[in-house]
């Protein structure tokens, strides 16, 4: 059998394969460039960018759990201008499309950051972080209130023609309502899911293990939650979904595709093995060959209920 077609489309953005990296787990690209061939990725998704620089939370900001990690990094970043000056020249040397994850403390700031970034040819899509569990302002509340969620997407839509990909919160009672609201507000795709609001306590000091008090759980522990959210969202919307949550092996990614994701993102696994995304790409290709499937899109949303 000839090589299967791995390419997928997220709005108008072409990906040579369905595998990107999850925002916040891969820096802005240079941090991983010596370890991973960035040209092989389907897309590079960078850490969250706000209109201006942001410091993030006090340490400790991460904590290892059984089957995952807690983090409350608090979205430190160089701001829009810092990203343009420092990282776009670097990322533009690669053929891989760049998805910029954006966030704001207010609804207006989401518009502002896109306004500042949108003239850059080196940016191919925006992932809108509406679901960060680690910051006090904006972010987390926006992703669980369908009306604010829609307002942010509508505002971003007025600022750009590039694909916009709202990132959904997992802690909602009806993911379909958010998927539909995103579609009605002009989104091109959905990213599902962000880390799950979570907490740990040191029993000696009785202090929270994270300086922020609580944070987000990621890694293998959340994969079954993410699979269900992707599955349920795919039933209600025709938008392509980028699925993520605990992908460590190709088999995990294939499960997401069958659940209904068009593409996937590798997150926490990058901290353990930076080459995970490449292994996942190769593993998907092998699975397609073994199962005589000539296009990865044929796998999407094919859960067998018989």
Ligand X SMILES: Cc1cc2nc3c(=O)[nH]c(=O)nc-3n(C[C@H](O)[C@H](O)[C@H](O)COP(=O)(O)O)c2cc1C
The catalytic residues are 132
**Residue 129 Cβ, how far from ligand X at the closest point, in Å?**
4
Distances (CA, A) of 294 to 254, 265, 278, 301: 15, 22, 20, 16
Element (H, E) at 30: helix 30-33
User: For residues 111 and 170, which CB has a smaller minimum distance to ligand X in the complex?
Assistant: 170
Site for ligand X in 170-199 (CB under 6 A): 194-195
With a CB cutoff of 8 Å and minimum separation 6, the contacts of 291 are none
When asked if residue 138 is in the footprint of ligand X (CB under 6 A), the reply is no
In terms of residues, how long is the chain?
Answer: 306
User: For residues 96 and 276, which CB has a smaller minimum distance to ligand X in the complex?
Assistant: 276
When asked if residue 144 is in the footprint of ligand X (CB under 6 A), the reply is no
**Residue 252 Cβ, how far from ligand X at the closest point, in Å?**
9
Residue of 16, 20, 25, 276 that binds ligand X (CB under 6 A): 25
The region of 107-115, 182-190, 204-212, 217-225 touching ligand X under the rule CB under 6 A is 217-225
Rounded distance between C-alpha atoms, residue 281 and residue 285, angstroms? 6
User: For residues 16 and 270, which CB has a smaller minimum distance to ligand X in the complex?
Assistant: 270
Q: Is 94 exposed, middle or buried (0-12, 13-18, 19+ CB in 10 A)?
A: middle
Strands (E), 16-141: 19-21, 44-49, 62-65, 68-71, 98-102, 125-129
Residue of 18, 29, 42, 48 that binds ligand X (CB under 6 A): 48
Rounded distance between C-alpha atoms, residue 77 and residue 3, angstroms? 40
Site for ligand X in 111-130 (CB under 6 A): 129
Tally of CB atoms within 10 A around 44:
25
Q: What tokens does 112 get?
A: 């502002």
Query: Helix 79-86 and helix 107-117: axis angle, to 10°?
Result: 20
User: For residues 4 and 253, which CB has a smaller minimum distance to ligand X in the complex?
Assistant: 253
Residue of 138, 246, 260, 274 that binds ligand X (CB under 6 A): 246
What is the size of the binding site for ligand X (CB under 6 A)?
25
Which residues make up the interface to ligand X (CB under 6 A)?
22-25, 47-48, 69, 71, 73, 75, 101, 129, 132, 167, 194-195, 218-219, 222, 244-247, 267-268
């Amino acid at each position: 059998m000839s090589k299967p077609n791995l390419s997928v489309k997220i709005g108008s953005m072409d990906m040579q394969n369905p595998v990107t990296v999850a925002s916040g787990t891969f820096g802005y690209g240079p941090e991983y460039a010596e370890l991973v061939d960035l040209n092989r990725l389907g897309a590079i998704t960078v850490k969250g960018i706000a209109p201006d620089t942001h410091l993030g939370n006090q340490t400790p900001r991460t904590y290892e759990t059984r089957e995952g990690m807690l983090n409350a990094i608090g979205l430190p970043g160089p701001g829009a201008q810092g990203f343009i000056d420092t990282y776009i020249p670097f990322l533009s040397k690669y053929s891989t499309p760049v998805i910029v994850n954006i966030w704001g403390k207010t609804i207006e700031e989401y518009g502002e950051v896109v306004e500042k970034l949108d003239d850059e040819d080196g940016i191919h899509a925006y992932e809108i972080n509406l679901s960060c569990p680690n910051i006090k302002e904006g972010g987390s509340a926006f992703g669980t209130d369908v009306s604010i969620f829609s307002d942010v997407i509508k505002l971003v839509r007025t600022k750009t023609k590039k694909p916009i990909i709202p990132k959904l919160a997992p802690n909602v009672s009806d993911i379909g309502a958010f998927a539909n609201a995103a579609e009605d507000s002009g989104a091109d795709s959905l990213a599902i899911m962000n880390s799950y609001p979570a907490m740990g306590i040191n029993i000696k000091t009785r202090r929270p293990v994270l300086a922020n008090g609580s944070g987000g759980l990621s890694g293998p522990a959340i994969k079954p939650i993410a699979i269900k959210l992707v599955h349920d969202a795919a039933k209600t919307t025709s938008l392509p979904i980028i699925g993520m949550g605990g992908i460590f092996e190709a088999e995990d990614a294939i499960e997401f595709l069958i659940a209904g994701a068009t593409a996937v993102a590798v997150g926490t696994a990058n901290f353990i093995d930076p080459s995970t995304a490449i292994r996942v790409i190769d593993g998907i290709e092998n699975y397609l060959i073994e199962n005589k499937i000539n296009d990865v899109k044929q796998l999407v949303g094919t859960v067998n209920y018989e």
